[in-house]
């Protein structure tokens, strides 16, 4: 690689270089004597503007700029799982061992380990034709996941040579393809540009929900595999812990967690907890199916802008293997702030609140990479995007939240008032919504005898009526309400405390199986029907709500584990018998 230009201007993470004719947009460059990593964001004749992904302090005018001839790309192959990368896929554990606790400027490290051997099992033989994206072999990367070795999407040909089963490094040539007289060597990994979506055969409608174990999400505001969802909320409303719960408990086979511009202590918690947490379905360490990307608020701002593209490209790679992948981006607001800072350095005309005019299109580019597809390998996979949004002061009318709502189909609005009452998850059931309910209805109906939609709508209606009645109660007091409306307030309380509220630190309550969720909601709504009949026979709500069995109904979520969900039916029989005694019907 030869010197092609010199620095003429430095403005924070943005530098300008002259004498760079031939550089292309988004080309990866080496900036300065220390060869800091950068990316071309503007080309004007022989002038290029470059955003640098490392600290530019100490960089001087006149230092050289070199082009790589390649766009910013990630390495995709065995070794991704259990790894912790920065925003441009530098392995932080390797860098720590080399430089200590702080990332030094200009440090270089390959994303995937070059010295580790993997047990490669070929799935094709000499003479077979390998089409783009097809699977030619497999590696058991972790006990939880089989890594399928893919032909790069831009390569194909007849297999002239392929390794037998054995132990190989990722740099070894495991196969050779021939096409039109040219030979191409295949390795266990390949590179792919982060800003270019990976191709697929067909985009499919989402039909299966992501089961998160969070009752308010799964039953009320579900997201389908391949969907896109936003979690907006002010400081302290639980965005990060909600993202952690989704990463730990969702039924996605691979998790890509992107800590984008978050505080260092929050990311430290992720780095400490994830290696210790167990996968709920296998008991193995959660990290065996997880990729972490850490780009905290004190790391270079330009790398923060690249981090979500790095994460979603890795997710698409596992999708192409036929896996369902969940991407947790926390937070897209910090990513948008990086866009705003870089845009200011580029002296671009600002739009609303200083954000660049292309904020909406960039958000769209990111969320549109979610989807359920038939991949080039012929397998079906999905990428589900969950983007946390941190609106200043919890103001949902600010640009990032408003534009995000245009591109997502589920909106889990976190409420500061609920959080202050220690109600978690603090998802407001009145302002949240999901457009995936029709897509996942068939899946739920098969498991609930067709009752899921009916129960969901009935519960939401009771909660809406409760909100309407609150204003009346403020004016005239609850005692002035008729008994049927008092019952609505009591049932809404049971829904809030016994169903919607969930304790992430309780070993029983942290995760609810679909069966337990349905039985629990059904029990509360059946209680409502029983109580209505008792009221019609002259029993006041106060007597019904004071029954020990009704009081205990709010605690069932923590007292009955998932594997004993059928006990909720017996608990409901106890309530029914108690109410019969009140009405004089006996047992």
The tokens for 490 are 């009591």
Q: What is the pLDDT of the chain when averaged over all its residues?
A: 93
The confidence score (pLDDT) of residue 558 equals 94
pLDDT at 100 over 90: no
Q: Mean pLDDT, to the nearest integer, of 396-419?
A: 95
For residue 441, how many other CB atoms are within 10 A of its CB? 17
Run of H or E residues at 351: none
Q: Dump pLDDT digits (tens) for 325-383.
A: 999 998 899 999 999 999 999 989 999 999 999 999 999 999 999 999 999 999 999 99
Q: What is the CA radius of gyration of the chain?
A: 27
Run of H or E residues at 532: helix 514-536
The confidence score (pLDDT) of residue 317 equals 98
Can you give the pTM of this predicted structure?
A: 0.94
The confidence score (pLDDT) of residue 338 equals 92
The DSSP bridge pattern shows strands 371-374 and 324-330 to be unpaired
pLDDT at 296 over 90: no
What is the spatial distance between Cα 76 and Cα 67, in angstroms, rounded to a whole number? 22
Select the more confidently predicted residue: 3 or 520: 520
Say which residues have a Cβ less than 8 Å from residue 213's Cβ, sequence separation at least 6: 245, 249, 250, 280, 510, 511, 512, 513
Opening angle at CA 516, ends 513 and 520, nearest 5: 140
The answer to whether the beta carbons of residues 121 and 344 sit under 8 Å apart is no
The tokens for 435 are 């457009």
Q: How confident is the model at residue 2 (pLDDT cuts 50, 70, 90)?
A: low
pLDDT at 402 over 80: yes
Range name among 159-168, 197-206, 577-586 with the lowest pLDDT average: 577-586
Percent of the chain exceeding pLDDT 70 equals: 99
Instruction: Give me the residues paired with residue 150 across strands.
Output: 135
Among 87, 397, 68, smallest CA distance to 260 is for 87
Q: Mean pLDDT, to the nearest integer, of 100-104?
A: 78
pLDDT at 587 over 60: no
Domains in the chain (CATH in brackets) are 3-71 (2.40.30.20), 202-435 (3.40.50.300), 451-583 (1.10.1140.10)
Say which residues have a Cβ less than 8 Å from residue 398's Cβ, sequence separation at least 6: 353, 391, 392
Q: Dump pLDDT digits (tens) for 221-259.
A: 999 999 999 999 998 898 988 998 999 899 999 999 998
The DSSP bridge pattern shows strands 47-52 and 14-18 to be antiparallel
The confidence score (pLDDT) of residue 1 equals 45
Percent of the chain exceeding pLDDT 90 equals: 80
Q: Dump pLDDT digits (tens) for 554-570.
A: 999 999 999 999 999 99
């Amino acid at each position: 690689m030869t010197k092609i230009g010199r620095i003429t201007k430095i403005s924070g993470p943005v530098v300008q270089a002259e004498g760079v004719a031939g550089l292309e947009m988004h080309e990866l460059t080496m900036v300065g004597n220390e060869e800091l990593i950068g990316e071309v964001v503007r080309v004007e004749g022989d002038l290029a503007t470059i955003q640098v992904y490392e600290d530019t302090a100490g960089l001087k005018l006149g230092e050289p700029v070199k082009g790589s001839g390649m766009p910013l790309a990630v390495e995709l192959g065995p070794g991704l799982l259990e790894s912790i990368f920065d925003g441009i896929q530098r392995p932080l554990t390797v860098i720590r061992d080399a430089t200590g606790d702080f990332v030094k400027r200009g440090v270089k490290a390959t994303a995937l380990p070059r010295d580790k051997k993997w047990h490669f099992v070929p799935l094709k033989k000499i003479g077979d034709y390998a089409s783009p994206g097809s699977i030619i072999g497999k590696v058991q990367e972790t006990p939880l996941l089989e890594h399928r070795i893919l032909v790069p999407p831009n390569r194909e040909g007849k297999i002239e040579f392929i390794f037998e089963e054995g132990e190989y490094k990722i740099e070894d040539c495991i196969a050779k393809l021939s096409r039109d007289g040219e030979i191409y060597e295949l390795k266990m990994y390949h590179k792919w540009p982060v800003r270019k979506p990976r191709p697929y055969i067909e985009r499919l409608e989402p039909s299966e929900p992501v089961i998160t174990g969070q009752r308010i999400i799964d039953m009320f505001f579900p997201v389908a595999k391949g969907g896109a969802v936003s979690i907006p909320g002010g400081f302290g409303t639980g965005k990060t812990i909600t993202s952690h719960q989704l990463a730990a408990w969702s039924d996605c086979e691979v998790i890509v967690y992107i800590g984008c511009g978050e505080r260092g202590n929050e990311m430290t918690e992720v780095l400490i907890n994830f290696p210790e947490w167990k996968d709920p379905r296998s008991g193995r360490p959660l990290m065996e199916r997880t990729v972490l990307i850490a780009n905290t608020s004190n790391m270079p701002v330009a790398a923060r802008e690249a981090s979500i593209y790095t994460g979603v490209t890795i997710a698409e790679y596992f999708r192409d293997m036929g896996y369902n992948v969940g991407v947790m981006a926390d937070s897209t607001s910090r990513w948008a702030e990086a866009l705003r800072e870089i845009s200011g350095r580029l002296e671009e005309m600002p739009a609303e609140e200083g954000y660049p005019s292309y904020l909406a299109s960039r958000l769209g580019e990111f969320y549109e990479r979610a989807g359920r597809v038939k991949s080039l390998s012929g397998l079906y996979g999905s990428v589900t995007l969950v983007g946390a949004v941190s609106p200043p002061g919890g103001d949902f009318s600010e640009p990032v939240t408003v534009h995000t709502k245009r591109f997502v189909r589920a909106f889990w609005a976190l409420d500061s008032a609920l959080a202050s009452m220690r109600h978690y998850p603090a998802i407001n059931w009145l302002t949240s919504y999901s457009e995936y309910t029709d897509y996942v209805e068939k899946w739920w109906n098969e498991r609930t005898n067709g009752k899921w939609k009916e129960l969901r709508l009935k519960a939401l209606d009771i909660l809406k009526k409760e909100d309407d009645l609150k204003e009346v109660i403020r004016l005239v007091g609850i005692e002035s309400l008729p008994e049927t409306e008092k019952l609505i307030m009591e049932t809404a309380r049971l829904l809030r405390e016994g169903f919607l509220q969930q304790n992430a630190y309780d070993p029983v309550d942290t995760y609810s199986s679909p069966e337990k969720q349905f039985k629990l909601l059904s029990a509360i709504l059946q209680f409502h029907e029983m109580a209505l009949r008792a009221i019609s026979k002259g029993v006041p709500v106060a007597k019904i709500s004071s029954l020990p069995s009704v009081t205990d109904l709010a605690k069932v979520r923590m007292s009955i584990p998932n594997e004993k969900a059928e006990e909720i039916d017996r608990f409901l029989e106890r309530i029914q018998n108690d109410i019969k005694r009140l009405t004089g019907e006996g047992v």
